[in-house]
Amino acid sequence: MNRDRSAFSRRGVLLASLAAPFIAPRGALARERINFVLNWTPTADHAPFFLAKAQGWYEAAGLDVTIETGRGSGASSQRVAAGTAQLGISEIPTALLARSRGGKLAAVMAVYANTPQTFYWLRSNGISGPKDFPGRSIGNPPGDAARVMWPAFAKRVGIDPASVRFVNITPAAKVPSLKSKVIDITTDFYNSHDVKIRELGDDLGFLRWNDIGLNSYGNSIIANADVLARQPDLVRNFIKVSQRAFAACVTDARPGLEALMAAASGLEERAQRDQWERVKEMMRDPTTTTVALGAFNAERMKADYDLIQGHFEGAQPFDIEKAYTNAFLDTSIKMAAA
């Protein structure tokens, strides 16, 4: 009991120290409203946002943040580009594809420095890898980033993009549909890998996209271009708080996961703890550990731009350097090296 109280006290001291830079002076101006749309339903990778909201860090920075559930990176990119959400989360290739088609958005902080995209199947279905995908069904939601990026994956592994049949299912139905063999293959983020191991055991087959050299940036915070131009302080304050909230969760995940589970129902604590450990792996690369947590690397962003331009019809050229920025990041905050 005393040990638990001591640990709780230490977490309280940590959170108080991290919150200190956000404390606004008495008589501060009215808070600015932000609609922040997630890529999907809340899970461990969103815990820092819920921590910052629960601790009042956004409020202390002059922000009134509403966190909205998303319907995929494609949908969140559309929301942000249209201005119905000032900020959101999207995988970078999906956001760049939206930008290439006239979408008014830019990336302002990387969450996943490594792609989380993974294909999953059952070995008992006779699938050993992508060469066995043609003629099979792939189940995922219509707005899923993996479906948007499927043509790039198919061309990389040398199969016809039209050789598979996509089936619309909800995120929660992915594992049950695979287990019951309603679908042959599904896509998911690697951060939920441990759940699939427990559910499917030795019958689980999988392929991470970075294993075939498709390691594009994953989830990132994107901003509406007009908001970025007209209200840079709003974006700066949101990123400043969010970056520090991610750093806090890297140091101690428990308060963030508690805030997440208090705000979102139906989450299992063990699964979220496992997910967060995978999330930390995907946050870490040479740029985030040496430049700043959340920083983009120019060469990698150019590679993601080339991926879009080379694999998607109707993708129009644009200046990639205007499609992202590290300007709002605090360079004193870096991702832990291990």
Structural domain range at position 173: 117-212
Question: Is 327 part of a structural domain of the chain?
Answer: no
Residue 157 has pLDDT above 90, yes or no: yes
**Each residue of 36-91: pLDDT tens digit?**
999 999 999 999 999 999 999 999 999 999 999 999 899 999 999 999 999 999 99
Residue 101 sits in the same domain as residue 224:
yes
Q: 107 versus 213: which is more confidently predicted? A: 107
CATH number of residue 97's parent domain: 3.40.190.10
Q: What percent of the chain has pLDDT over 70?
A: 91
Residue 196 lies in a domain: yes
- Could you say which of 167, 197, 212 is where a domain stops? 212
* The predicted structure's pLDDT at residue 15: 52
pLDDT at residue 13 is higher than 50: no
pLDDT greater at residue 313 or residue 133: 133
Q: Does the residue 3 lie in any domain?
A: no
Confidence (pLDDT) at 12: 47
Query: Which token pair is 109?
Result: 């902080």
- Can you tell me the distance from the alpha carbon of 134 to that of 118, in angstroms, rounded to the nearest whole number? 17
Tell me, yes or no, whether 268 lies in a domain: yes
Select from 20, 73, 78, 23 the least CA-distant residue to 248. 20
Boundary (domain end) residue, out of 212, 240, 271: 212
For residues 106 and 27, state if they share a domain. yes
Residue 144: pLDDT band by 50, 70, 90 thresholds? confident
- E strand map for 234-283: none
- Which of 23-37, 69-83, 297-311 is predicted with the least confidence, judged by mean pLDDT? 23-37
Taking the C-alpha atoms of residue 331 and residue 215, their distance in angstroms, rounded to an integer, is 24
Q: Is residue 89 part of a domain?
A: yes
Q: Is residue 195 part of a domain?
A: yes
Based on the fold, state whether residues 239 and 175 are members of the same structural domain: no
For the segment 291-312, the average pLDDT, to the nearest whole number, is: 95
What does the pLDDT look like over 320-333, one tens digit per residue?
A: 999 999 999 999 99
Report pLDDT digits (tens) over 270-299. Answer: 999 999 999 999 999 999 999 999 999 999
Neighbours of 137 (CB within 10 A): 16
Same domain, 97 and 241: yes
Kindly compute the dihedral angle of the four CA atoms of residues 293, 297, 302, 305, in this order, to the nearest 10 degrees: -10
Beta bridge partners of 291: none
Terminal CA-CA length for the chain: 31
Separation between Cα atoms, residue 133 and residue 205, nearest integer Å: 12
Asked if pLDDT for residue 23 goes beyond 60, the answer is: no
Detail the DSSP E strand segments found in the chain: 32-37, 63-68, 87-91, 105-110, 117-122, 137-140, 165-168, 185-189, 204-208, 219-224
Count the domains in the chain.
2
Say whether both 65 and 41 belong to one domain. Answer: yes
Residue 1: pLDDT over 90: no
Q: Is the dihedral of CA 243, 247, 250, 252 positive or negative?
A: negative
User: Hey, what long-range contacts does 230-236 have (CB within 8 A, 24 or more apart)?
Assistant: 231/32, 231/86, 232/328, 234/32, 234/34, 234/63, 234/86, 235/86, 235/87, 235/108, 235/328, 236/328
| Strand pairing class (204-208; 117-122) | antiparallel
When pLDDT is cut at 50, 70 and 90, the band that residue 29 belongs to is low
3-state helix, strand, coil in the chain (%, to 5): 50, 15, 30
CB 111 within 8 A of CB 179: no
Same domain, 272 and 239: yes
pLDDT digits (tens, 9 = 90+) for 200-249: 999 999 999 999 999 999 999 999 999 999 999 999 999 999 999 999 99
In whole numbers, what is the pLDDT of the chain averaged over residues? 91
